[in-house]
């Protein structure tokens, strides 16, 4: 087992960077790496282990569906309803109809043709979004339409996962249809109710333990437990994971769950693609190369034409419509799962399913090649348009720590209509502020995965308002290292903490009670008879002197004796400065 694991990891380490460098994407690198070590390549791993590895690695798809569910908040879906359910639905249905019609003409029955059309109508979310991101085209009009289409396709995978096994059971066992459907409905209702109430309650209890390993274990248990329960009802594990994600999309644990699951998802999804390449039946290509290549060209051509036509309908110019058609012209990674399910359920012949998996794999190779050709022959397309702008996925401001300090900053931002994402690791505090209408996500801000899930890659401001000095400093160091575009506004709990934040290159540091203490001192001076202007001048001179000494004494902060001496010296300087004012007659006492 260890030897085989080393071989799979070596294939990924060698193939993925190479294909990324060639501009062909990580997914294709995983696939080719799997082919290289498989029975049709070097034969480094026995073919008898391929199916077992593939079944295990399908957990990567399960985790991917869970994270997709976490991202599908109802408010986001509603704001994007026109491009998702309008453009996206039209693309999938028209493509499925065209491909299904070709399949019927080639001799398939109506049910099998419909399944083939719907599966091949899906594009690769990982492949297309990676290409758009690498090319800087996510904000273009065709990039936004591509994103909306992929989101619709991700949603469409869920009913497909549920539908295909049921169609297979209908063909095999006519009498059990009603019982299976009733059982599936009851389990889904139970998952929805349990996820709405039981899951959140359980996560809240575990969160109070503050033990990271238990939180990660709970996240895995949430996904795998729900997935296994739904599979027991005769549906797909991925469907159960998706439902769990949707049910928790509006919870305060959303970002923490995504951060916990992301490493497992990435590793297992990579293993899944390698296993697909490993089990790829290249004999189908060798036995009928002309037929396979013709199917690849037909698939790419049909999807390209449908997408180009729809792009023109919604107002894209020709270069944008062409790029949209190309970037979504390949088959999707879910085809590997869906064709396998269809073959196991008996709705597709195993040989045909193997051939179509080869077709989907080869179609992925064409996308970067066609994009390179389009770049050479087409003019640039517009980056913006007059269509409805899609909402930003993440807020421009992150607030780390939502105690009394962070809440005040949040209230100011809310008053100006500025969106923010607030994070806190104290679940009791989250429950408390929730009663006053505040929305805070649970999570440890010293974790890179959590910050990434919360949108740190696109955030512009981080308000660092954490109550714990060590956690605050570690968060600042992590953000400065991995997200250099963010301006950090730091709350220092002490003078020493202020120095630590300065060392972490925090752009603006404000000591916790410094300004409020000065306000109290100003009021005290006025109460003692000083006029308002003299009190204000006194406070301002003290603030300037103290902040100057804060930076001046920074290099000596680790020498306790020297810091004590410098503090006494600074105190004498202030006293002498104000004594000179008294000598010069600038007392400022009111005549009242």
Q: Which helix (H) or strand (E) holds 397?
A: strand 397-400
- Residue 551 CA neighbour count, 13 Å, CB half: 9
Q: Which helix (H) or strand (E) holds 510?
A: strand 508-511
Rounded CA separation 130/330 (Å): 13
Q: pLDDT digits over 215-262, tens only?
A: 788 888 888 888 888 777 766 677 778 777 877 777 777 777 777 787
Task: Determine the average pLDDT of the residues in 416-442.
Answer: 80
The torsion region of residue 4 among left (phi > 0), alpha (psi -120 to 50) and beta comes to alpha
Structure tokens given for 383: 């980056």
Structure tokens given for 351: 């040989």
Q: Within 10 A of 229 (CB to CB), how many other CB atoms are there? A: 19
| For residue 518, pLDDT beyond 50 | yes
Q: Which of 86-95, 371-380, 455-464, 582-591 has the lowest mean pLDDT?
A: 582-591
Q: pLDDT digits over 430-456, tens only?
A: 877 777 667 788 888 888 888 888 888
pLDDT reported for residue 99? 94
DSSP label of 530: B
Task: Determine the average pLDDT of the residues in 295-299.
Answer: 93
Q: Which helix (H) or strand (E) holds 327?
A: helix 318-327
Helix residue spans in 233-288 (DSSP H): 237-247, 254-279, 283-287
pTM score over 0.75: no
Q: pLDDT digits over 92-150, tens only?
A: 999 999 999 999 998 888 888 999 999 999 998 767 876 776 676 766 778 888 888 88
Q: Calculate the CA dihedral of residues 481, 485, 486, 489 and round it to 10 degrees.
A: 90
Q: Which residue has the tokens 């059309």?
A: 117
DSSP label of 554: G
pLDDT band at 513 (very low <50, low <70, confident <90, very high): confident
Three-state DSSP state, 487: strand
Closest CA to 357 of 273, 440, 427: 273
Structure tokens given for 421: 């994402």
Please give the mean pLDDT across all residues of the chain.
79
Rounded CA separation 124/66 (Å): 17
Report the interhelical angle of 26-37 vs 254-279 (nearest 10°).
40
Rounded CA separation 436/311 (Å): 45
Structure tokens given for 56: 């295990």
| For residue 80, pLDDT beyond 60 | yes
Task: Determine the average pLDDT of the residues in 399-428.
Answer: 85
Q: pLDDT digits over 533-564, tens only?
A: 888 888 888 888 887 777 776 666 666 677 67
Rounded CA separation 312/310 (Å): 5
Q: Within 10 A of 77 (CB to CB), how many other CB atoms are there? A: 16
Rounded CA separation 19/458 (Å): 27
Rounded CA separation 246/376 (Å): 42
Closest CA to 466 of 420, 511, 424: 424
């Amino acid at each position: 087992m260890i030897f085989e694991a080393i071989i799979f990891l070596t294939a990924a380490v060698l193939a993925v960077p190479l294909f990324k460098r060639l501009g062909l994407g990580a997914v294709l690198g995983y696939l080719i790496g799997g082919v290289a070590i498989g029975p049709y390549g070097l034969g480094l791993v026995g073919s008898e282990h391929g199916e077992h590895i593939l079944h295990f690695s399908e957990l990567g798809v399960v985790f991917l569906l869970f994270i997709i569910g976490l991202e599908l908040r109802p408010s986001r879906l509603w704001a994007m309803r026109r491009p998702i359910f309008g453009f996206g639905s039209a693309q999938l249905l028209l493509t499925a109809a065209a491909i299904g019609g070709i399949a019927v003409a080639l001799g398939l029955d109506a049910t099998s043709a419909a399944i083939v059309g719907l599966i091949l109508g899906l594009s690769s979310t990982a492949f297309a979004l990676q290409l758009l991101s690498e090319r800087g085209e996510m904000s273009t009009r065709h990039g936004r339409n591509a994103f909306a289409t992929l989101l619709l396709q991700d949603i469409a995978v869920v009913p497909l996962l549920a539908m295909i096994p049921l169609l297979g059971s209908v063909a095999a066992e006519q009498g059990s249809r009603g019982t299976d459907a009733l059982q599936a409905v009851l389990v889904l209702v139970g998952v929805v109710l349990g996820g709405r109430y039981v899951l959140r309650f359980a996560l809240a209890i575990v969160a109070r333990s503050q033990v990271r390993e238990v939180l990660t274990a709970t996240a895995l248990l949430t996904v795998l437990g729900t997935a296994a329960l739904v599979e027991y009802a005769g549906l797909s594990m991925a469907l159960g994971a998706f439902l769990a994600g949707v049910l928790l999309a509006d919870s305060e644990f959303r970002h923490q769950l995504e951060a916990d699951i992301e490493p497992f998802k990435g590793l297992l999804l990579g293993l899944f693609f390698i296993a697909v390449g490993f089990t790829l039946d290249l004999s189908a290509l060798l036995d009928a190369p002309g037929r396979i290549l013709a199917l690849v060209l037909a698939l790419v051509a049909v999807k390209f034409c449908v997408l180009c036509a729809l792009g023109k309908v919604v107002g894209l110019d020709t270069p944008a419509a062409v790029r949209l058609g190309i970037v979504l012209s390949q088959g999707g990674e879910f085809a590997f799962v869906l064709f396998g399910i269809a073959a196991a359920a008996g709705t597709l012949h195993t040989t045909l399913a193997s051939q179509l998996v080869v077709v989907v794999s080869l179609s992925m190779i064409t996308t970067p090649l066609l994009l390179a050709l389009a770049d050479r022959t087409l003019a640039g397309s517009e980056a913006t348009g007059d269509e409805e702008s899609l909402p930003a996925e993440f807020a421009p401001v992150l607030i780390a720590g939502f105690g009394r300090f962070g809440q005040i900053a949040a209230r100011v931002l809310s008053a100006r209509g500025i969106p923010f994402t607030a994070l806190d690791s104290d679940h009791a505090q989250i429950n408390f502020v929730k009663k006053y209408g505040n929305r805070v996500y649970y999570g440890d801000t010293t974790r890179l995965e959590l910050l990434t899930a919360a949108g740190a890659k696109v955030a512009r401001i981080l308000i660092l308002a954490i109550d714990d000095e060590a956690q605050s400093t570690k968060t600042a160091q992590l953000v400065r290292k991995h997200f250099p575009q963010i301006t950090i506004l730091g709350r220092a709990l002490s003078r020493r903490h202020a120095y630590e934040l300065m060392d972490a290159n925090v752009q603006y540091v404000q000591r916790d009670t410094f300004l409020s203490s000065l306000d109290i001192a100003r009021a005290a001076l006025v109460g003692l008879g000083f006029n308002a202007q003299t009190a204000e001048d006194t406070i301002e001179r003290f603030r300037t002197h103290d902040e100057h000494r804060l930076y001046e004494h920074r290099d000596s902060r680790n020498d306790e004796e020297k810091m004590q001496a410098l503090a006494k010296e600074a105190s004498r300087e202030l006293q002498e400065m104000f004594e000179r004012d008294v000598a010069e007659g600038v007392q400022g006492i009111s005549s009242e």
